Structure 1
């Protein structure tokens, strides 16, 4: 009888560990700057979420920074690439629109990760989000805008001497269909990505 109870307890423990392992996703958050100039990414948590970085991160050309999400807890927030920063004077772009905004959310129900690049507030730096280390059955596309829209921006929509663009949503969507350009917009490619090992925000991606 005691042996049977012990085996039952062991089976329950193994099952619990298996269930725990199935949902305890660990996703690394990486930022990679491929721009020929430094970028100061500002990582801001959404309301009620803990901060995972301060405002002092500087990524020189080809610089990398890896951050940790808070364990298996759900987290969501945004990243704004700032340029030309010179504390305490501020930054040339990124402190106010026009700004490119990368949005991420991890560890929702079942380990769901959601991410997007928004041009709702304009554009200042090309950016994409690339998931890594995910099951091949998942829909985890690369999303964002790899095009330098400052160079292509219509003359009347250029801001700050060409350091930003406040063009129409139609212009942004035509140039970068894998971004969100209005409050109700979605990307051309659907996503349903569970438990990626890494989400990488790349500034000035090469492809």
Structure 2
């Protein structure tokens, strides 16, 4: 009897430490094609060959490994047919989604953020779905910051913006704009079945479009 109970305890412990499957979904809502760039942190496996281009409203679904994985997702624009040369996104300035999954053993934590530390090129919002528990807020920037980027900070002929951090933070508070910055919204997400990254989620612009200084941009959360 004692041996049988010990066997059950071992099985329960093994199940508690197992990671649930998690999918990375990338949704392009931009009015132009984007080429997602998914880069693992050093020493971790690649989950994409980074050759696919997404037309407007197209989706790309990728599988995270069942063990710890961390990396970055960016949107490249203006790429050639082989995605070997791109106008923006392959290097700074670029909007970067940072994702960590299957972290923390039994908690199976996920962590995510949208970083503008290296600049901005495309609006991006990240949202977990089908989470096992915890706080899983939508984070990121739905505003097109290129439209009123300070002239001295514009790059790639206006298709990207270098900053400054205060400009980014005032318009997109749910992003990270310096190496020590964090979002005001807490997160403690556990076991999401899907991490969804949306490029160019709808931006609401009010005010006189002809007057860039008068534009007021309000961010909205990702689609469901």
What is the TM-score of this pair, normalised by structure 2? 0.84
1:128 & 1:151 partners in 2: Cα distance?
18
In structure 1, runs of 5+ residues without a counterpart are none
In structure 2, runs of 5+ residues without a counterpart are 203-219
Candidates 181, 187, 211, aligned match of 1:185: 181
**Deviation of 1:197 (Å):** 1.1
Alignment partner, residue 56 of structure 1: 51
What is the TM-score of this pair, normalised by structure 1? 0.90
**Deviation of 1:133 (Å):** 0.6
Matched, 1:118 2:115: yes
Alignment partner, residue 19 of structure 1: 13
1:194 & 1:106 partners in 2: Cα distance?
9
**Deviation of 1:49 (Å):** 0.3
Structure 1 pair 13–28 and aligned structure 2 pair: CA distance change class (3 A): farther
Kindly indicate whether the alpha-carbon contact (under 8 Å) linking 2:37 and 2:90 is maintained by their aligned counterparts in 1.
no
Q: Deviations over 1:68-120 (max 9, x none)?
A: 1111x100000111001014561111122110001100111121111011000
Larger Cα-atom Rg? 1
Kindly indicate whether the alpha-carbon contact (under 8 Å) linking 2:88 and 2:121 is maintained by their aligned counterparts in 1.
yes
Q: What RMSD in Å do the two structures reach over aligned CA positions?
A: 1.5
- Aligned counterparts, 1:158-173, within 5 A: 158-173=154-169
> The residue matched to 1:30 in structure 2 has which SS?
strand
Q: Deviations over 1:102-143 (max 9, x none)?
A: 1100111121111011000100000011010114x5111001
